Structure 1
Amino acid sequence: MKRKTNVQNQATKKLSPFKKPSKDQQVLIDTAKSFICQHLRDTKPAVLVITGDAGTGKSVVLSQLFYEIQRESHHQHNQLSGTNNYFIVNHPELLKVYRNLAGQLPNMYKKNFQRPTSLINLMNKQHNQFDVGVIDESHLLLSQPDHYNHFYGTNQLLSLLKIAHVLVIVFDEHQVLRLKTYWTKKRLQSLLAPFTQKWLHLTHQFRMEADPSLINWINHFTGDQQLLPIQKGFQNHYDFKIFNDAEAMRQQIVNQNKRVGLARIVSTTGYPSTLDGGHHYITEGNFSLPWDQYNYSSTPWAEIPETINEVGSIYTCQGFDLNYVGIILGPLVNLSQDGHSIIIDTDKITDVESFKRRQDMNDPKEVLQAKVTLNLNAINVLMKRGIKGLYIFAHDSRLRERLYHDYQLSLQ
């Protein structure tokens, strides 16, 4: 029991408002509060957009900001007194973390942490509005109707703007993962054009204790798809390894999980995966583990001890810190013919739910590029989960040989 508590503390401590933010983060928090107070009584809604790459502390800023807003809303003689505010996140696993945290803090109530569809439907039913909405992972907001999830509007951000006075949103176009939540910076700017807005940006990498050269390697891998040389510096203060055996990687992850906790195997799409309640396995040589299952508990997937025997996906890992992550680059990630870049084979996508056709995207070239971009985004998200270490195994034999060869050269 003590072991589980320690792991939970590791997973949620970064979001605790009692953790002192950095100087840059505090400046951003103060700027956000000033923006909220300035526009709280405007006749039209105002929006503050916070951008930044994975691991730059966006969620930390939002958590601290919301705590301060709620604290002031319960005290008299300030501009936020009596305000009705919500923290909004369209990620069920991340929502569990925030709600668990809320139960431990004064002036923070679980009811103030909502998924967007639930809040939109509640406000519309009551013909009501709220004052301040803080939206984590706004790139996960639906940008089209989704009747399966009981959202009947055209766009969740527009629906929230109709019922809020001020929104503070975190946005990272490199973490957009589904066509039904398809956002680009250009699309967001176009949607927000009629509203008062301010944009702020975070740059410092807080999650990964990694050398900037490794971050740059990942950014090229998942951006322009170029394979840069693997350098010795990748191992500076960080455990970076390339494996040519998936089972050997799993064993290393298990060892790290026993040592420090929060070490997990994750994978891209490309392997059999259907939400039918059954087990669907990823098999690579002697390696064989099932995909993560839908998590009905109140404990986030990464904090459940038994999930060391599952393979996580972007749906269970996005927004979370792991100590060590072992990523399997599935069948859709291949080495180009010239050996200098990677290519994404969209015909090998098995996550069909995420790539259902949109009515407003009729150009086949646009759809194809979107699929490539979304899969590169998923790799970016998964590669940047690990605080202390990143391990990689590639299904494609040519890519696996190239990466392993480059890695071995870097060790000499």
Structure 2
Amino acid sequence: MKIKTWVERIDFTEDSLLEFESAELAKSEEADYSPRKKRAKYLLDYPTVYIVHSDASRKVTAYVGETNSIKQRTLTHIKADPKARADWLKLSSDQKSQMYVIGSNLFNKSMTLDVENRLIQYLHCVDAVESLNNGRTNPQRDYYSKERFDEVFSEIWKNLRRKDKKLFPTEQIIRDSAIFKASPYHRLSDEQVMVKNELVRRIYDVILDKSTGQAPLGEPGKLQVVTGEAGSGKTVLLSSLFFEVCQGETRTFNPENDDDGTAFEFQDLDAHLLVNHDEQLKVYEQIANKLGVQKDGNQRVWKPTRFINTHYDWETETVKKHVDLIIIDEAHLLWTQGKQSYRGKNQIEDLLKCADMVIAVYDFKQILGANAWIEDQDSIFEASNAIEPLHLSNQMRIAASEETVQWIRTFIDDGEILDFPEDEHYQVKVFDDPNALRAAIKKEASNTERGLSRLVATYDWPFKKGSKEGGGAWDVTIGADFSMPWNGQLKPEHRRAGYGDLAWAEQEHTINEVGSTFTIQGFDLNYAGVILGPSVKYRNGKVIISPEESCNQAATNKRTFQDGKKHNLALSLLRNELNVLMTRGVHGLYIYAVDEQLREALLQKYRG
């Protein structure tokens, strides 16, 4: 069946709604051909999706919905909802509020729910949208015509773009945004659904089931660890869980088995999301603000040190404000020793003092600094307050064959260079010139269908916050012909306004910078150009790490263990740095190696 979609824009008033209905019916009656009659039926009588938004000349407040009766639902929003909800009062009072009515010949209840869900997902990534008044997420699993959903949605989005390009940018722009990639509205995989449902059950058991009782005051809360390697879907899982909890979703299940039974709500659960990474903090804050989770001074998204210092009194060693739930993304970045801004010795232990339950996501291969090293990793799972860990095993970032994933993992973990596999979905390329690598990444970045691509490098060139003494940027320099500034080094006149809230890779000017683990950890690139600096070498048939060539003092500084001895962790930490950089690319990994022997070994295998 050929796809037909219709998008009509009207003023968000009762008069405009009735005029719209009358016009559609009149044209339907006048027409002596069926397409016009079908259009009226699909827009007025069949399931539809709709968008209501405030004045589009300013920052937009929007709502997305679906209904079996567009007339009745709209009248409810106009007449009844403003009496009960401030957001609808604001929309109905705005004389420039508008409404889009969306119909399709392939719509059924399940597809309209999926279209509604993706529209919410897309709109909360749009710069022009300040807030979305939607709470629930309801992605559908399987239904008749689901295989044509993407096709239908793209047609709808194109129709919307024809009416307002600012409010509805290209799909590629949306999909490249860091907010989209961390969106709580993604349809979860079967594995993610299973882990999320188990987490919900355990939240119920620990916090909400009053019959079991919370931990006595002064005792640490329960620790729930979730593990998974880079690209296994950890961030999307946590995002989905956190925003469901914060928006007071109702869940129904029987805690004893898989059958439906006990209904409970997350309403009024004091939950907080923490991440010890500046770039990811920006993303979570934007999502929380747009979805209304973090408002009226009710902070929900934090860096760990600030949360601890706000909720714990170091002088009296008592908790100032106890919370129900803490969810930690990138928990492998938590500090396990004190620093100037942090007076404790272990952040996870201090966070457990402040909450009934802590859910922490770990990937031990992404620990990057000696101050975050966990001396005994098993101790996390074996602590008396630890709940049985959960694990995500599926690779969801790298859109490659198993052979290509194995090539990358073998290079990182075993230091071996395997024969390059053929892969029509993923490109691994090796370059003999860093300028050629730069040109290739710029070409990918300029292709709107290819999307977000950036250069990143091992931390093998000096960098400090601020400019060099005497001026100038901290650069990644290779030979006499290649020099590019490190992330955040371009002078203000080279920056475009309004980029401050975006993640590093999303800022257009950063195509002229080189990223690092400090700016790219936790994020996706469609094509990642990785410069392997002089700390990554090839000797005696193996890829080795040379810490003496690294400028990453967080990794090369020794760490004092509980036995009082200083331990050198650089080999492990720098290999973790390599792991983070080489697992960023969704569709491609482009490599240049500074070490001549490594470059030649890679090129020999690459050229066959």
Question: So what's the TM-score if we normalise by structure 1?
Answer: 0.90
**Are 1:351 and 2:523 counterparts?**
no
User: What residue in structure 2 maps to residue 293 of structure 1?
Assistant: 488
Q: Distance in 2 between matches of 1:83 and 1:298?
A: 28
Q: Post-superposition shift, 1:269? A: 1.8
**Are 1:283 and 2:471 counterparts?**
no
Q: Give the letter aligned to residue 372 of structure 2.
A: T
Q: Is the 8 A contact 2:371 2:554 kept in 1?
A: no
Post-superposition Cα deviations, 1:83-104, rounded to whole Å, max 9, x if no partner, equal 1110010001001011111122
User: What residue in structure 2 maps to residue 128 of structure 1?
Assistant: 321
**Are 1:313 and 2:516 counterparts?**
yes
1:272 to 452, 462, 466: 462
SS across alignment from 1:223: helix
Q: Distance in 2 between matches of 1:374 and 1:229?
A: 26
Q: Give the letter aligned to residue 84 of structure 1.
A: D
The structure richer in helix per residue is 1
SS across alignment from 2:560: coil
Q: Is the 8 A contact 1:50 1:201 kept in 2?
A: yes
Q: Post-superposition shift, 1:287? A: 2.2
SS across alignment from 1:269: coil
SS across alignment from 1:241: strand
Q: Distance in 2 between matches of 1:14 and 1:347?
A: 36
Q: Distance in 2 between matches of 1:18 and 1:163?
A: 29
**Are 1:137 and 2:330 counterparts?**
yes
Higher RCO by CA contacts (8 Å cutoff, separation 6 or greater): 1
Q: Is the 8 A contact 1:8 1:303 kept in 2?
A: no
Q: Is the 8 A contact 2:368 2:554 kept in 1?
A: no
User: What residue in structure 1 maps to residue 372 of structure 2?
Assistant: 181
Q: Distance in 2 between matches of 1:29 and 1:151?
A: 32
**1:94-133 mapped onto 2 (5 Å cutoff):** 94-109=280-295, 111-125=299-313, 127-133=320-326
Q: Could you say what the CA RMSD is over the residues aligned between the two structures, in angstroms?
A: 2.4
Q: Post-superposition shift, 1:230? A: 2.1
1:200 to 377, 390, 394: 390
User: What residue in structure 1 maps to residue 62 of structure 2?
Assistant: none
User: What residue in structure 2 maps to residue 42 of structure 1?
Assistant: 214
Calculate percent identity across the aligned residue pairs.
Answer: 34
Q: Distance in 1 between matches of 2:312 and 2:378?
A: 24
**1:299-378 mapped onto 2 (5 Å cutoff):** 299-336=502-539, 338-339=540-541, 341-360=542-561, 363=565, 366-367=567-568, 370-378=569-577
Q: Give the letter aligned to residue 478 of structure 2.
A: E
Post-superposition Cα deviations, 1:149-187, rounded to whole Å, max 9, x if no partner, equal x11000000000000111111100000000011136x43
Q: Post-superposition shift, 1:297? A: 2.5
1:68 to 216, 230, 244: 244
Q: Post-superposition shift, 1:72? A: 2.1
Give structure 2 stretches of 5+ with no counterpart: 1-126, 128-165, 208-212, 252-262, 314-318, 491-498
SS across alignment from 1:393: strand
2:587 to 381, 388, 391: 388
User: What residue in structure 2 maps to residue 169 of structure 1?
Assistant: 360
Q: Distance in 2 between matches of 1:363 and 1:226?
A: 32
**Are 1:154 and 2:337 counterparts?**
no
Distance 1:4 1:84, change over 3 A: same
Q: Post-superposition shift, 1:229? A: 2.5
Q: Distance in 2 between matches of 1:6 and 1:227?
A: 34
User: What residue in structure 1 maps to residue 180 of structure 2?
Assistant: 13
**Are 1:379 and 2:578 counterparts?**
yes
Post-superposition Cα deviations, 1:351-393, rounded to whole Å, max 9, x if no partner, equal 22443333327656x41xx211111111111111011111000
Q: Post-superposition shift, 1:16? A: 1.4
SS across alignment from 1:78: strand
Q: Post-superposition shift, 1:107? A: 3.7
Q: Post-superposition shift, 1:280? A: 1.5
Distance 1:142 1:213, change over 3 A: same
2:276 to 90, 105, 120: 90
Q: Is the 8 A contact 2:431 2:590 kept in 1?
A: yes
Q: Is the 8 A contact 1:4 1:303 kept in 2?
A: no
Distance 1:196 1:269, change over 3 A: closer
Distance 1:343 1:363, change over 3 A: farther
Instruction: Single out whichever of 1-10 and 352-361 deviates more from structure 2.
Output: 1-10
Q: Give the letter aligned to residue 284 of structure 1.
A: I
SS across alignment from 1:325: strand
Post-superposition Cα deviations, 1:318-350, rounded to whole Å, max 9, x if no partner, equal 0001111100000011101x22x1111111111
Q: Post-superposition shift, 1:288? A: 1.3
Q: Is the 8 A contact 1:4 1:305 kept in 2?
A: no
Q: Post-superposition shift, 1:228? A: 2.3
Distance 1:27 1:108, change over 3 A: farther
Q: Distance in 2 between matches of 1:359 and 1:5?
A: 50
User: What residue in structure 2 maps to residue 32 of structure 1?
Assistant: 199
Question: So what's the TM-score if we normalise by structure 2?
Answer: 0.62
Q: Is the 8 A contact 1:70 1:108 kept in 2?
A: no
Distance 1:167 1:298, change over 3 A: same
Q: Distance in 1 between matches of 2:388 and 2:359?
A: 10
Q: Post-superposition shift, 1:5? A: 9.6
Q: Post-superposition shift, 1:399? A: 0.6
Q: Post-superposition shift, 1:116? A: 0.5
Q: Is the 8 A contact 1:89 1:95 kept in 2?
A: yes
Post-superposition Cα deviations, 1:35-77, rounded to whole Å, max 9, x if no partner, equal 11101143151121111110010001000011111122799x8
Post-superposition Cα deviations, 1:247-270, rounded to whole Å, max 9, x if no partner, equal 001001001001133210000022
User: What residue in structure 1 maps to residue 155 of structure 2?
Assistant: none
Decide which structure has the larger Cα Rg and report it: 2
